[in-house]
Amino acid sequence: MAIERISLRALITGLLLAVILITIAHTVVAKLQFRRAALDYRIQNLSRVIEVAALEIMRQTRGHAIVLGSSLQQRLSLRDDAPLLTPLTEPFTKGFVEARHLDLVQLRVYDPQLRLLGAGRQHDIPALPATLLTQAKERQGAERFKALGGLWLAPQGPLYSILVPVGGLHLDGYLEVVLNPLFNLRNVHEMIHMPFGIHDSGGEELIHPAGIIEDDPRYVTVDYELRDVDDALVLRLVAYEDIDLLYSDMHRTQVVTTISFFSLTVVLLILALWLLNRYLFQPVHIMINEMEHSLHDANNTLLIRHGIKEVHLVAAAFNTMAAQVREIIHELHRISALDGLTGIANRRAFNQALEREWLRAVRRRTTLSLLLIDIDYFKQYNDSYGHQAGDECLKDIANAINLEVQRPTDMVARYGGEEFVVLLPETDAAGAGSVAARLQQTVATLAIPHQASGISDSISMSIGICTMNPGKDNHSEQLIAGADTALYRAKAGGRNRVEFARAGDLPPLATPQTAD
């Protein structure tokens, strides 16, 4: 047969030449056919980037507005005849630190039935959109105490309103913070690092990107639509992508990919012409040995230095699988150190951190402080509001404490039930007391309703503090015991207070027993 007269070298060389020719043809065709597809895909991705950036900006704007509203509502009194004009106009006449990130347009106050009581300054702003009014009126229970807001379109242009409840646990009304969203949305440019502009619903350009000439053929526009509470178009956020730069990157990628493919093909051809025993069976044998070795060494990475393509593929697949197993093990170790409900460190992780920081404090001769925190009347909270609300309460308090304790060396953990613990290395009693006071204030600011509490209308905490100078004459268990005794004294003294461990609160060290 004719095939018997063809050598393996000639066959592989011919196949390589065919592959090279096909690759060249494929590259040319792909460059023509997929150029537009790549551009469309790029535009879709950039549109998603703009969407994420815009939503993040609006989320931050909402947060700043809520902070401003919460600050202002402390100066408002809707239960008596106190004038409303002064606290509503001060942000415009004097300026508020809380408003530095906002373009404040108007402040308006409503009664609980959302009837307008007063406005901050004379400004021709239409009434709140009917959709937002309906949403606010239809809310029931605890939902009425949450801020509500949305984007809407006024004759003056797009506006953003946030309704902040006034009155704490007793709803006295609402404070509406009206903002100009363009002030904040212009910061999208800093997040996407592209020329960026904004158009209104009619197509008129409100913000023009720097350095962009209108109808410049070098740029293609990528836009995202912002809609109001009635799902009507309010703003179009437009970014400009440099097509020449994109096509240049595509061309460079194609060239690099093609050269790499050609090089790999030539190498494989040369290797295939060698003896199969040397470049097939031996690499397989080496690979098997490496696999067996990796079973005993989790950090071992399989590396095949030479062999045919199939051997490399098997090795790469095994490497991928081994890497995934290592990632899973690492994730399991991480999860095992977290509390399943609150997401902060659990007691096991705390115990390990305490021993670690204790030894470090012994070496450095520094102080170590511990805060043991207990939520007051939490059992009554669960009985009144249900265990699901209790879980949400624990998560909110854990998140608030974790955000307040900011030093990298500090640690916040759930100690058990409604108890939390804060470990403060290199912190004296005064510093620990300052942290405890901030934590109590932070939780009080959350204003989580607790009608069943014996001391407050909202969730409160009792805190026991113990500060020690670790050494060979004491032990970390004494630190916990001291904080626990101080916590017991805080609870016995009326709760919602902070107590410090005293000298007599520390239990003596256990002495080893000797045989008679």
The 10s digit of each residue's pLDDT in 257-279 is 767 766 776 676 566 555 556 66
In a domain, 365, yes or no: yes
Confidence of residue 473 (pLDDT cuts 50, 70, 90): confident
At 172 the three-state DSSP class reads coil
pLDDT at 444: 93
pLDDT at 297: 64
pLDDT at 333: 67
pLDDT at 514: 41
- 245, 224 contact by CB (below 8 A): no
Of the three residues 178, 207, 242, the one that is the final residue of a domain is 242
Taking alpha carbons only, the member of 216, 161, 212, 215 closest to residue 189 is: 212
pLDDT at 485: 94
**Strands lying side by side in the sheet with 173-179:** 116-119, 104-110, 173-179, 157-166, 148-154
pLDDT at 489: 94
In a domain, 515, yes or no: no
In a domain, 386, yes or no: yes
Of residues 84 and 249, more confidence is placed in 249
In this prediction, residues 245-256 reach a mean pLDDT of 72
pLDDT at 50: 87
Q: 497 and 365 share a domain?
A: yes
At 509 the three-state DSSP class reads coil
Q: 356 and 238 share a domain?
A: no
| Average pLDDT of every residue of the chain | 81
Any idea which residue has 């960026």 for tokens?
A: 196
Of residues 395 and 190, more confidence is placed in 395
C-alpha angle 397/403/409, rounded to 5°?
Answer: 120
pLDDT at 513: 44
C-alpha angle 298/304/308, rounded to 5°?
Answer: 145
Instruction: Give the single-character DSSP code of 512.
Output: P
Q: 375 and 489 share a domain?
A: yes
Whether the pLDDT of residue 350 is over 90: the answer is yes
pLDDT at 169: 73
In a domain, 250, yes or no: no
Reported as half-sphere exposure (CB side, CA atoms, 13 A), residue 404 has a value of 23
Percentage above 70 pLDDT, the chain = 78
pLDDT at 442: 94
Q: What does the DSSP assignment read for 395-458?
A: HHHHHHHHHH---TT-EEEEEETTEEEEEEET--HHHHHHHHHHHHHHHHHH--B-TT-SS-SB
C-alpha angle 155/158/159, rounded to 5°?
Answer: 105
Taking alpha carbons only, the member of 148, 152, 92 closest to residue 119 is: 92
- 346, 338 contact by CB (below 8 A): yes
Taking alpha carbons only, the member of 446, 454, 444 closest to residue 379 is: 454
Burial tier of 29 (Cβ tally within 10 Å: 0-12, 13-18, 19+): exposed
pLDDT tens digit string along 405-463?
Answer: 988 899 999 998 899 999 999 999 999 999 999 999 999 999 999 999 989 899 999 99
Query: Residue 417 forms beta bridges with which residues?
Result: none
Cα separation of the two ends of the chain: 99
Of the three residues 242, 257, 289, the one that is the final residue of a domain is 242
In this prediction, residues 303-332 reach a mean pLDDT of 69
pLDDT at 100: 80
pLDDT at 421: 96
pLDDT tens digit string along 150-177?
Answer: 998 888 889 999 998 887 777 888 888 8
Q: Report the amino acid identity of residue 295.
A: L
- CB burial string 165-197: b at 16+ within 10 A, e below: bbbeeeebbbbbbbbbbbebbebbbeebebbbb
Q: 351 and 236 share a domain?
A: no
pLDDT at 37: 72
Confidence of residue 510 (pLDDT cuts 50, 70, 90): low
In a domain, 121, yes or no: yes
Of the three residues 191, 216, 242, the one that is the final residue of a domain is 242
Q: How many domains does the chain have?
A: 2
Q: 359 and 232 share a domain?
A: no
- 166, 172 contact by CB (below 8 A): yes
Domain around 199? 34-242
User: What's the token pair of residue 396?
Assistant: 């909110």
Distances in Å between the alpha carbon of 4 and those of 1, 464, 465? 6, 90, 89
Of residues 88 and 28, more confidence is placed in 88
- The domain that holds 105 is classified in CATH as 3.30.450
Q: How far apart are CA 506 and CA 480, in angstroms?
A: 9
- Which of 136-145, 302-311, 496-505 is predicted with the least confidence, judged by mean pLDDT? 302-311
Percentage above 90 pLDDT, the chain = 29
- The domain that holds 444 is classified in CATH as 3.30.70.270
pLDDT at 187: 87
Spatial neighbors of 205 by CB under 8 A, at least 6 apart, are 197, 198, 199
Taking alpha carbons only, the member of 300, 317, 307 closest to residue 282 is: 307
Q: How far apart are CA 321 and CA 289, in angstroms?
A: 17
In a domain, 212, yes or no: yes
pLDDT at 210: 77
Spatial neighbors of 118 by CB under 8 A, at least 6 apart, are 84, 85, 88, 108, 109
**Strands lying side by side in the sheet with 461-468:** 411-416, 419-425, 368-375, 461-468, 498-500
What size, in residues, is the chain? 516
Q: 229 and 105 share a domain?
A: yes
Q: 357 and 226 share a domain?
A: no
Q: Report the amino acid identity of residue 172.
A: D
Taking alpha carbons only, the member of 130, 137, 118 closest to residue 175 is: 118
In a domain, 213, yes or no: yes
Query: Residue 241 forms beta bridges with which residues?
Result: 220
Spatial neighbors of 291 by CB under 8 A, at least 6 apart, are 302, 318
Q: How far apart are CA 93 and CA 324, in angstroms?
A: 60
In a domain, 157, yes or no: yes
